[in-house]
Chains A and B, each alone.
Chain A
Amino acid sequence: MTWAHFIWFAVLALAAWSAGSAAAFSGKGTNRMAIVFYVGGIIVYGLFIGALWISLERPPLVTMGETRLWYSFFLSIAGLITYLRWKYKWILSSATLLALVFTLINLLRPEIHNQVLMPALRSIWFIPHVTVYIFSYALFASAFLLALTGLIKPSADVLSAIDNLCKAGLSFFTIGMLLGAIWAKQAWGDFWSWDPKETWAAVTWLLYVLYLHTRKMNVKSKKFFYLLIVSAFISLQIGWYGINYLPWASHSIHNYSPNSSGK
């Protein structure tokens, strides 16, 4: 199984997700067909990741293309959980749309070198650090979509759902970040060194922590909270891949591209 087969899995999974998204709009409450289609799409996507893992003989978590794969996968899971828990009809279509964007990037711009795992990444902390992080990204993406909805349609009542997504997302984000800190001590000698990626992780973490704290205060403006969620999500994107394009941050020790030392 290689990236050449990806298009078939991607088309099948996205077709299933689209069918599920459409089914979600019919009837009241949660729709059974929507769930069946959605789970089917998740299984198809998961099968490709599993097969790729086996054929690469290393976890597919190294290149940007590979992390986008996990992102689409976890995004659909987070979307389904949100749908089951809060019954928003449109959340499945939004999650599908985001998954489609990330899948299309993988199909059109594959930075998919079949890199082998370099010594710096051979560590037991590697898989938990990255997967826990990406799962939190997916939860935060759902919160971001809800915040956009709130900004566009001020009558929508989405704040309590955002609260729950942020709490779950922040739990995972915190664990991902701290697993990284323990790994950093083992690999680089210090828990935290204010490397660009670490700094932007701290900014993101603080913004979500501030959201959950200010929610307990008597702030009347809903727009304030939506904008906080939007800026936290932007900061997340900077830390995830944006720093690769910031000229002053390209020296990051988190840079594992083949041309950098990765140390």
Chain B
Amino acid sequence: MIINPHWFAFPVNALAGLVIIFVGWRAKKLSSITHIVIALALVLAVCLVQGFMPAGYPFTRTWPFVVALVWLLVVLTSALFRKPSLTYFGLWLALFAGVLGAADSYNGQLLVHKDGFSGAPLPFELRLTEFTVDTYPGGEPMDYRAGIELSDKNRTVNKTLRVNHPVSFKGHQLYLSDYGKDRGDGIPYCILMYTRQPWRWLVLSGILLMMAAALKSFFK
């Protein structure tokens, strides 16, 4: 019952996107407010189920959840073809790129040591050069900094990673998520999270449009 997103990797997701747009364009009736309300209620229902799900069960990657979101997309597409609206378009774009883009995205965690390079499954290698912890006067941690050496066949770059300050390299974003205990000779390794989300700019555009629409409706 759980969907493997990679079944829908490009170009399958692009085709599915075209089908969504085509159905929305043809199905005039779906643009009615009744259909919008039904589609929103379906998404509400699956969100409520997710709200009561135990940790770790990937309900958001099951058919009911995905179908509800896709159905909302179809209905929104139909509404947008009849009556353009900034709010709907922002929501549509963020959802469209978020749902379909998930098939081309991946993420994982990586242990980066001081000694020796480790890279796989990434197309480049990483090494921890230094790890520092800034503290408040009371001794509580204020900031973590990991110096990382990134290298592929052609070049080597040094970057500093901090919490809330990810680094991009060769289409991947790297996030500092944890570090190993200091046993006297400095922090031996850090744990990075890596993601690749080729559709992220579309999602971000949708989010910004929705925010603009929310501001506009407040001042209207």
- A interface, CB within 8 angstroms of B: 116-120, 122-123, 167-168, 170-172, 174-175, 178-179, 181-183, 185-192, 194, 196, 199-200, 202-203, 206-207, 209-210, 213-214, 216-217, 238, 248-249, 251, 261, 263
Check A178 against B141 for contact (C-beta < 8 Å): no
**Could you say which of B5-13, B112-120, B124-132, B207-215 contacts chain A?**
B207-215
Check A174 against B210 for contact (C-beta < 8 Å): yes
Check B195 against A190 for contact (C-beta < 8 Å): yes
Check A207 against B44 for contact (C-beta < 8 Å): yes
What is the minimal beta-carbon distance from A208 to any residue of chain B, in angstroms?
Answer: 11
What separation, in Å, do the CA atoms of A209 and B203 have in the docked complex? 20
Q: Which 5 A-B pairs have the closest CB atoms?
A: A171-B218, A174-B214, A189-B195, A206-B44, A119-B163
Is B47's CB within 8 Å of the partner chain A? yes
What separation, in Å, do the CA atoms of A199 and B173 have in the docked complex? 25
**Could you say which of B19-27, B33-41, B181-189 contacts chain A?**
B33-41
Determine which of B50, B175, B214 lies in contact with A188 in the assembled complex, contact meaning CB atoms within 8 Å: B175
What is the minimal beta-carbon distance from A199 to any residue of chain B, in angstroms?
Answer: 5
Nearest A residue to B166, CB-CB: A186
Nearest A residue to B219, CB-CB: A171
Check A216 against B207 for contact (C-beta < 8 Å): no
What separation, in Å, do the CA atoms of A58 and B143 have in the docked complex? 14
Beyond the given A175-B214, A210-B44, please list 18 additional residue pairs across the A-B interface where CB-CB is below 8 A. Answer: A119-B164, A123-B164, A170-B214, A171-B215, A175-B211, A185-B204, A186-B166, A189-B173, A190-B195, A191-B200, A203-B44, A210-B41, A213-B36, A216-B33, A248-B52, A248-B55, A251-B55, A263-B177
Check A213 against B217 for contact (C-beta < 8 Å): no
B142 contacts across to A, CB distance below 8 A? 116-117, 119, 122
Check B37 against A210 for contact (C-beta < 8 Å): yes
Check B163 against A120 for contact (C-beta < 8 Å): yes
Is B98's CB within 8 Å of the partner chain A? yes
Is B81's CB within 8 Å of the partner chain A? no
Which of B143, B193, B211 has the largest number of chain A CB atoms within 10 A? B211
B166 contacts across to A, CB distance below 8 A? 186, 189
A179 contacts across to B, CB distance below 8 A? 211
Check B40 against A206 for contact (C-beta < 8 Å): yes
Count, chain B residues at interface, CB 8 A: 49
Q: A186-B166, A187-B175 are in contact. Are A171 and B217 (CB under 8 A)?
A: yes
Q: A119-B163, A174-B211 are in contact. Are A196 and B175 (CB under 8 A)?
A: no
What is the minimal beta-carbon distance from A34 to any residue of chain B, in angstroms?
Answer: 26
Check A213 against B211 for contact (C-beta < 8 Å): no
B204 contacts across to A, CB distance below 8 A? 182, 185, 191
Determine which of A122, A171, A248 lies in contact with B214 in the assembled complex, contact meaning CB atoms within 8 Å: A171
**What's the count of A-B pairs with C-beta under 8 Å?**
115
Is B151's CB within 8 Å of the partner chain A? no
- From 95 to 138 in chain B, residues with beta carbon under 8 angstroms from any chain A beta carbon are 98, 107, 136, 138
Is B48's CB within 8 Å of the partner chain A? yes
B36 contacts across to A, CB distance below 8 A? 213
What is the minimal beta-carbon distance from B107 to any residue of chain A, in angstroms?
Answer: 6
What separation, in Å, do the CA atoms of A199 and B46 have in the docked complex? 10
Check A213 against B40 for contact (C-beta < 8 Å): yes
What separation, in Å, do the CA atoms of A246 and B165 have in the docked complex? 31
Is B197's CB within 8 Å of the partner chain A? yes
Is B144's CB within 8 Å of the partner chain A? yes
Is B93's CB within 8 Å of the partner chain A? no
Q: A119-B144, A123-B164, A171-B215 are in contact. Are A203 and B48 (CB under 8 A)?
A: yes
B47 contacts across to A, CB distance below 8 A? 199, 202-203, 206
Is B53's CB within 8 Å of the partner chain A? yes
What separation, in Å, do the CA atoms of A33 and B197 have in the docked complex? 57
What is the minimal beta-carbon distance from B11 to any residue of chain A, in angstroms?
Answer: 23
Nearest B residue to A123, CB-CB: B164
- From 152 to 178 in chain B, residues with beta carbon under 8 angstroms from any chain A beta carbon are 162-166, 173, 175, 177-178
What is the minimal beta-carbon distance from B7 to any residue of chain A, in angstroms?
Answer: 20
Nearest B residue to A201, CB-CB: B47
Check B197 against A168 for contact (C-beta < 8 Å): no
What separation, in Å, do the CA atoms of A198 and B153 have in the docked complex? 41
Nearest A residue to B48, CB-CB: A203
